[in-house]
Structure formats: structure tokens, C-alpha cells
């Protein structure tokens, strides 16, 4: 199974699935996002890379409605999310599946209830049917149906990520967000999870944004990539071009060099 998806590149003629313009967010005096512009085309996956504290997670939380941006627009299918009524915004958010960095599984619930939580919350399933659906979703991420009866604390890190992915795809979202999907996993498990992500996105025909530090993972998941640095997108292009971007900030980050513009800022 090939998990490299760099054959599709954005074209300006296509309507963006997600379009972000001038997004700004600050916490007190700290400016985290300083006019972020991004476009993700339908059916493609964009990887956002950037150092710790560069605002990647804040960017996702703004799109998800977990944080209110100070300025800017977030368009989904051409509709401005921030101009929508609360009900419209909630309906739009229901179309988004999210894989959190640490899985964020609910400790107090068994795995099957975690997986079908969103469907049960929307009354789309009875509890009896939910167990069966959970088994099918777990199979899609390579887990046995019997895992459904376990509690999240009994699972390994890789299994928790798979369960979290099953939960994220349960409502068949047309947009998916992955927050550091391979963090804390060994390289083999990381590659397996990446493969599952790509499979799920492809099967559902979804549009995806993933944020990561992991360059191997970025190339496996992404069609396109963007680098967030000091609250701005400093580079964007095909994910395949990440390692030879001709951008000093991206080059230093992707090659893990000690010398370069990022280190100079740290010294200041």
C-alpha cells in the first residue's frame, strides 16, 4: 500500500473547500496567529508544519470553533464560518472529524461507546446498533470487534490512536483534522497510522488538514504543505517539495539544522 499522495496539486481555478484569510489570534500580549492565509482544495490533504508553539493547534481550534479568532475569515465551501448563526456553525462542525494528539478518548466509557459517541449524541443510532457499528468502524482501523468492550486505559498508544481515528470517521465527515497523528508512536506504528489516515480520507473522499513535526509523516499524508512560523504562513507548496523548498526557514526545520533563521530567533 502506497501512502505517498503528492500527485495532486492545488489549482486556483478550483473552489477551495477550506479558505482562511487574515486569521489572527492573540492571548494577552502574545500574538499566536498573525494573519494566516490558507487554502485547501476539495479531496486533498494539507500538512501544516511548524515548531512548538508556532500556533498550529490554535489554528485547528479556531477552525473547529473551540477558540474564537480575533480577526479574519474561515470559509468552508465558500461560507464564512464566523458569520454563521450558532446553529449553522454547529451543523458545519458536525461535518468535521477530529483526531486529537493524544487521542482524547473518554476514560469513563468503553471503547465501543467512544467510537460511536458522536452518533449516539446526534440520536443517529440506538445503543444496541451502536455496538455493531463500533465493531465495523474498529475493523476499518484494523482492530478486532472485541476491543470495543475494553476501556481506553487498557489500550496501547497505537491502539488508542486507531480508536480515536475510528471515532473521527464514525460520522463520515467530509473534512478531517489530524493533530500530530504520530506523536508518541514508534516509526513503524507511525507509518501504519499514516496509512490508515490516508486510506480513511481517500475512502470518505474527505478534505484533510494535518499538523505535524514529523517530516516522514508529512510526506506520507500530505498532498500539499504549509509552514507556520511566527504566526504566519511563510511557505506553501506540494508536500513532495518540503525537503527542497528553497525557503531558509522551511529548510532548517525539515532538515533539523541547528544553524538558521529559527535558531537566530531563539538566541535573541
Give the binding site for other proteins (CB under 8 A).
61, 64-66, 90, 93-94, 96-98, 100-102, 104-108, 117-118, 121-122, 167
Q: Which residue lies nearer to other proteins by CB, 118 or 135?
A: 118
Minimal distance, residue 257 CB to other proteins, in Å: 31
The answer to whether the CB of 176 falls within 8 A of the CB of 169 is yes
The answer to whether the CB of 240 falls within 8 A of the CB of 254 is no
Compute CA distances 60 → 23, 42, 220, whole Å: 11, 17, 20
Compute CA distances 128 → 125, 144, 150, 152, 174, whole Å: 8, 18, 17, 20, 26
Minimal distance, residue 66 CB to other proteins, in Å: 5
For 62, list phi and psi in degrees, rounded to 5.
Answer: -65, -45
Minimal distance, residue 123 CB to other proteins, in Å: 8
Residue 205: Cβ-neighbour burial (10 angstroms; 0-12, 13-18, 19+): exposed
Q: Which residue lies nearer to other proteins by CB, 8 or 94?
A: 94
The answer to whether the CB of 176 falls within 8 A of the CB of 207 is yes
Compute CA distances 4 → 70, 194, 230, whole Å: 36, 10, 29
Q: Which residue lies nearer to other proteins by CB, 94 or 255?
A: 94
Q: Which residue lies nearer to other proteins by CB, 114 or 217?
A: 114
Minimal distance, residue 100 CB to other proteins, in Å: 5
Q: Which residue lies nearer to other proteins by CB, 98 or 234?
A: 98
224: Cα separation from own chain's centroid: 13
DSSP code, position 154: G
Buried b (16+ CB within 10 A) or exposed e, 255-265: eeeeeeebeee
Minimal distance, residue 243 CB to other proteins, in Å: 31
Minimal distance, residue 102 CB to other proteins, in Å: 6
- The string of DSSP codes covering 71-98 is EEEEEETTEEGGGS-HHHHHHHHTTEEE
Minimal distance, residue 247 CB to other proteins, in Å: 31
Q: Which residue lies nearer to other proteins by CB, 167 or 220?
A: 167
Q: Which residue lies nearer to other proteins by CB, 64 or 191?
A: 64
Helix (H) / strand (E) containing 201? helix 187-204
Amino acid at each position: 500500500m502506497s501512502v505517498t499522495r503528492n500527485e495532486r496539486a492545488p489549482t486556483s481555478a478550483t473552489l477551495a473547500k477550506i479558505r482562511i484569510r487574515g486569521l489572527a489570534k492573540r492571548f494577552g500580549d502574545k500574538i499566536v496567529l498573525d494573519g494566516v492565509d490558507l487554502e485547501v482544495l476539495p479531496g486533498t490533504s494539507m500538512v501544516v508544519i511548524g515548531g512548538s508553539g508556532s500556533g498550529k493547534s490554535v489554528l485547528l481550534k479556531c477552525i473547529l470553533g473551540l477558540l474564537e479568532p480575533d480577526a479574519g475569515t474561515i470559509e468552508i465551501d465558500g461560507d464564512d464560518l464566523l458569520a454563521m448563526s450558532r446553529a449553522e456553525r454547529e451543523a458545519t462542525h458536525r461535518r468535521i472529524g477530529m483526531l486529537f494528539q493524544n487521542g482524547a478518548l473518554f476514560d469513563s466509557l468503553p471503547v465501543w461507546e467512544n467510537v460511536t459517541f458522536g452518533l449516539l449524541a446526534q440520536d443517529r443510532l440506538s445503543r444496541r446498533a451502536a455496538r455493531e457499528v463500533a465493531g465495523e468502524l474498529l475493523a476499518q482501523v484494523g482492530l478486532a470487534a472485541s476491543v470495543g468492550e475494553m476501556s481506553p486505559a487498557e489500550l496501547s498508544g497505537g491502539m488508542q490512536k486507531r480508536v480515536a481515528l475510528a471515532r473521527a470517521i464514525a460520522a463520515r465527515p467530509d473534512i478531517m483534522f489530524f493533530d500530530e497523528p504520530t506523536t508518541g508512536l514508534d516509526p513503524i506504528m507511525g507509518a501504519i497510522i499514516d496509512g490508515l489516515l490516508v486510506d480513511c480520507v481517500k475512502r470518505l473522499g474527505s478534505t484533510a488538514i494535518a499538523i505535524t513535526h514529523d517530516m516522514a509523516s508529512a510526506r506520507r499524508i500530505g498532498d500539499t504543505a504549509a509552514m507556520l512560523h511566527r504566526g504566519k504562513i511563510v511557505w506553501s507548496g506540494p508536500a513532495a517539495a518540503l525537503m527542497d523548498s528553497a525557503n531558509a526557514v522551511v529548510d532548517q526545520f525539515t532538515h533539523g539544522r541547528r544553524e538558521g533563521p529559527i535558531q537566530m530567533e531563539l538566541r535573541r
